[in-house]
Amino acid sequence: MSRNFMTFLSSGVAFAALASIAPAYAQEDAAQATQAAAAEPVYEEIVVTATRDSRSLQDVPMSVNAVTSEQISKLNILDTKDISRLAPGLELTNTTGRNNTTTLRGIGFDADQGSDPSVQIYFNEAPADANTVFTALYDIGQIEVLRGPQGLLRGLSSPAGSITITTQRPKFGEVEGYAQGTVTDRHAYNVQGGVTLPFNEKVSLRVAAMVDGNRNNQVRNVTNGDYSRGNTQSGRVTLGLRPTEDFTAYLTYQYLQSDVRQYTQVVGAANSFGGVPTGPGDFSIKDRAAVADGLNRFKNVSHIVNFNFDWDLGWATLNGLAAYQATDLDQRRDGDPANSIPGLAIPQHTFTPYRSPTFELRLASNDDGMFGWGVGAFYQTLTGTTRVTQDTALFFAPAPAIAGVTYLPFTTYFTAPADQETLSFNANGRVRTGGFTLEGGLRYTILNSVRVADLVTTSPGSPDLVQEGIPAELRDLKNRPLTGGATLSYEFSRALTGYIAYGHSFRSGGVGIAAPIGISSDLLTTQNEKTDNFEAGLKGSLFDRRVNFAVSAFYQKFDGFVSRFSGIYYNCPNSAPGVCAPGTIDNGTDVPATDGTFDFNYNGDATIKGIEASIDARPTDFWDLSVNMSYVKARYKNSARLPCNDFDGDGRPDTTGSAVISGTGNVSFCRLTRMSDTPNFSLSATTELRVPVEGSVEPFLRGLISYRPGVYSQQRDFDYRSRTLLDLFAGVRGNDGQWELTGFVKNVLNQQRITDFQNIPQVGTFAGPVQAGYATISSTVPREFGLVGTFRW
């Protein structure tokens, strides 16, 4: 989509917003003579816990997006990744059915990279892994997207921000709940509901459950005729306790089971060998085809327990958290997704158990006067042994397996026990005087982790090769960072507040898990990352709060940003296929020219600057309009030297031709600028028009549009096209809000765009590399029609 359209779209949205403000402004002028200054607000106030206390969204001195349970229901958001449609600058993706990646303010994070997240996920205030939390979305109270470094108020430091997800809690003395069902023409269904059962004014129970089935990326494997598909079942029970007016506690248990079979989509023209095509045909994005011989299957079984309490002591409030997550992640995939060697699957099996107890205590003053304070302690451990079984075939000729090509099979067994401990202490204070509020604090953290990796390679007729994946001197990682921040806000009036803020965050460097044995130390280990962020913003309202707005500008500096570089070809002296050994590398003469691909972590200094803005307006009692915009420029400093695929040796990423390594190291290096493949600008807008009619029903129309310009990916050497995703909803509901029936169309424009482009896979042989010609991709889901019914009581 052209830049002219982007300009037109932005101008149209801005005009709509201004058009809605103008009548309201005129109405206010006409009514000022007869209305009291303290008129009732039009909007129900949104209360957030971004600062670990309850404040109005308009009073929080940071950039925050709050997605309420009402918005989730109205826009039929069944996938947590769709939250990014409401928060420009946030991208949540899943390319394999397993690895949920998060990008915020141009700062990306892959859950598989082994480092602490750049965007930390919290589930009922306890840190949790994205692969589990993003799997099921139901009976949600509120989701908050906190932008900027988080190093003080929550237990774990994160440089880009945090996403907090809070589930619905039982009310005391009131029976209430909901039931919702969704079906679509894309073989998808979702049934969910929740109900509160109060025993009395002191004990209440909330029970919720969800069943979901779909075809994920809507891809069909033409090799075996099977479709991608997934199903998820989850249940949650929350016990609410309020023995006195001063003490409230909630105990939550959630069970989740998910089974996803997601085939990797391919595009491109099939190669041929000896005049015989090696693939089943040429495919475009609209064919939605996969060709792998093997299966891509991911299972997740999780148990999460949360205990939260608040005890009002009069002079202060004590908050406590105890949580435990036990998750088993089981993945099986074909290591040859583009079927470069037809007729032969290359199975890979990864099993990761995740065990994590978390404890936190916070004591904060209740005095709302001039001074305030808070202290706290946090403790978390993470354990679990990852086991990987990977088959590798040493091919002697670049010919299809069905043509009788011979190969020597190798199997690699990899074991990596995790042992990580985090202990932190924090203190913060507040001074309020004359409209000014100064808040700040520090967190001291003790980070200890032990990483061990053992690798065994076996082959018929050969003795087992046993190696240590991580050198002894790199196994123990210890850090003692000091993080925190400060904000200064000023209340110009009841309707306008300004703030300036500073935040400092830290992430530990790490050691590459399952990295090729003997790879150079810079590719095996990363250094510690530090970041400083400066932000200024304004938040306010106009016309008796018919219009709420927020705007912020920020500048962030990274010292050694830790990023993931996926699918990087490497080469090294071999002691076995895929196993490096000390020795001299000669990338010009080694056969095969590469030993495979790996996802390497690497450091690079960077700076980020940007502007974010939002407008929420209610021009009339029957029309709501919300617009969110983000402009972020996230760049490496001085075009950092980072791992890449550079087949032609010109110092720029490319994947044309046979895979070779440029230079004298294990991998090629390029001068890269962009920190992620996200565009600078993004925009989203929602609207609802209610039709006033006589009777007991209310018709309505809703719309959600999100716009993402095109962007060139240096790492992928690929031009991503712009995409405009438009969802429309039309329905009717009871005036009492108890029931609602809605028909919807998602991706109305039926834009099928590539959202993630991987390198064209190649399989190395002694006679040279062979490839099917296909590139593996992820893409947007085609147009989808659906119906959703909701009943509340």
User: Which among 262, 269, 263 is positioned nearest to 771, based on CA atoms?
Assistant: 269
CATH of the domain at 80: 2.40.170.20
Rg (CA), the chain: 27
What distance lies between CA 437 and its chain's CA centroid? 33
Helix (H, G, I), strand (E, B) or coil at 602: strand
Question: 656 Cβ partners below 8 Å, 6+ apart?
Answer: 647, 648
What pLDDT is stored for residue 398 in this prediction? 61
Helix (H, G, I), strand (E, B) or coil at 92: strand
Question: 273 Cβ partners below 8 Å, 6+ apart?
Answer: 398, 399, 400, 403, 770
Number of domains in the chain: 1
- pLDDT greater than 70 at residue 16: no
- Percentage of the residues of the chain whose pLDDT score is greater than 70: 90
Q: Which residue has the tokens 């108890």?
A: 738
- pLDDT greater than 50 at residue 361: yes
The two most distant CA atoms of the chain are separated, in Å, by 95
The confidence band for 579, taking pLDDT boundaries of 50, 70 and 90, is low
Contact 352, 386 (CB under 8 A): yes
Measured distance CA(65)–CA(53) in Å, rounded: 16
Question: 759 Cβ partners below 8 Å, 6+ apart?
Answer: 567, 597, 645, 655, 716, 775
Indicate the pairing of strand 297-312 with strand 316-334. antiparallel
The CA–CA distances, whole Å, from 276 to 45, 270, 281, 399, 686 equal: 67, 10, 11, 10, 52
Least confident among 268-272, 430-434, 671-675: 268-272
The confidence band for 728, taking pLDDT boundaries of 50, 70 and 90, is very high
Helix (H, G, I), strand (E, B) or coil at 357: strand
Neighbours of 616 (CB within 10 A): 21
Measured distance CA(684)–CA(707) in Å, rounded: 6
Element of type H or E holding 635: strand 623-636
- pLDDT greater than 80 at residue 310: yes
- pLDDT greater than 70 at residue 25: no
Instruction: Tell me the per-residue pLDDT of 607-624, one tens digit each, with 9 for 90 and over.
Output: 999 999 999 999 999 999
What pLDDT is stored for residue 7 in this prediction? 37
Instruction: Tell me the per-residue pLDDT of 344-355, one tens digit each, with 9 for 90 and over.
Output: 788 889 999 999
Helix (H, G, I), strand (E, B) or coil at 383: strand
When pLDDT is averaged across residues 116-134 and rounded to a whole number, the result is 90
Measured distance CA(645)–CA(759) in Å, rounded: 9
Strand partners, 259: 231, 299
Q: Does 583 or 313 have the greater pLDDT score?
A: 313
The confidence band for 13, taking pLDDT boundaries of 50, 70 and 90, is very low
Measured distance CA(586)–CA(226) in Å, rounded: 44
Instruction: Tell me the per-residue pLDDT of 147-166, one tens digit each, with 9 for 90 and over.
Output: 999 989 888 999 999 999 99
What pLDDT is stored for residue 691 in this prediction? 92
Instruction: Tell me the per-residue pLDDT of 91-113, one tens digit each, with 9 for 90 and over.
Output: 887 766 666 778 899 998 877 77
User: Which among 556, 672, 540, 681 is positioned nearest to 616, based on CA atoms?
Assistant: 540
Structure tokens at 727: 């969802």
Structure tokens at 133: 């939390």
Helical spans, DSSP H, in 398-509: none
User: Which among 95, 169, 84, 77 is positioned nearest to 119, based on CA atoms?
Assistant: 84
Cis amide leading into 592 (omega within 30): yes
Structure tokens at 410: 């190798």
What residues make up the domain containing 286? Answer: 3-792
Q: Measure CA of the first residue to CA of the last residue in the chain; give whole Å.
A: 45
User: Which among 629, 637, 707 is positioned nearest to 674, based on CA atoms?
Assistant: 637
The confidence band for 698, taking pLDDT boundaries of 50, 70 and 90, is very high
What pLDDT is stored for residue 479 in this prediction? 94
What pLDDT is stored for residue 369 in this prediction? 85
Q: Does 768 or 488 have the greater pLDDT score?
A: 488
Least confident among 17-31, 186-200, 379-393: 17-31
**Three-class SS of 555-577:** EEEEEEEEEEEEEEEECCCEEEC
The CA–CA distances, whole Å, from 290 to 49, 160, 271, 337 equal: 44, 35, 15, 8
Q: How much is the pTM? A: 0.89
Name the CA dihedral angle for 494, 498, 504, 510, rounded to a multiple of 10 degrees.
80
Question: 461 Cβ partners below 8 Å, 6+ apart?
Answer: none
Measured distance CA(628)–CA(633) in Å, rounded: 17
Instruction: Tell me the per-residue pLDDT of 197-216, one tens digit each, with 9 for 90 and over.
Output: 999 999 999 999 999 999 99
Measured distance CA(3)–CA(432) in Å, rounded: 46
Instruction: Tell me the per-residue pLDDT of 364-381, one tens digit each, with 9 for 90 and over.
Output: 999 778 999 999 999 999
When pLDDT is averaged across residues 319-348 and rounded to a whole number, the result is 90
Least confident among 22-36, 615-629, 698-712: 22-36
Q: Which residue has the tokens 């080694």?
A: 590
What pLDDT is stored for residue 405 in this prediction? 56
Q: Which amino acid is at 25?
A: Y
Q: Which residue has the tokens 């982007």?
A: 6
Q: Supply the DSSP string of 26-89, one letter for each residue.
A: HHHHHHTTTS-SSPPPSSPPPEE-TTSS-EEGGG-SS-EEEEEHHHHHHTT--SGGGGGGGSTT
Question: 20 Cβ partners below 8 Å, 6+ apart?
Answer: 547, 617, 619, 623, 625
Instruction: Tell me the per-residue pLDDT of 39-96, one tens digit each, with 9 for 90 and over.
Output: 444 556 788 888 888 888 888 899 999 999 999 999 999 887 788 888 888 888 776 6
- pLDDT greater than 60 at residue 2: no
Q: Does 244 or 393 have the greater pLDDT score?
A: 244
What pLDDT is stored for residue 759 in this prediction? 73
Helix (H, G, I), strand (E, B) or coil at 168: coil
What pLDDT is stored for residue 10 in this prediction? 38
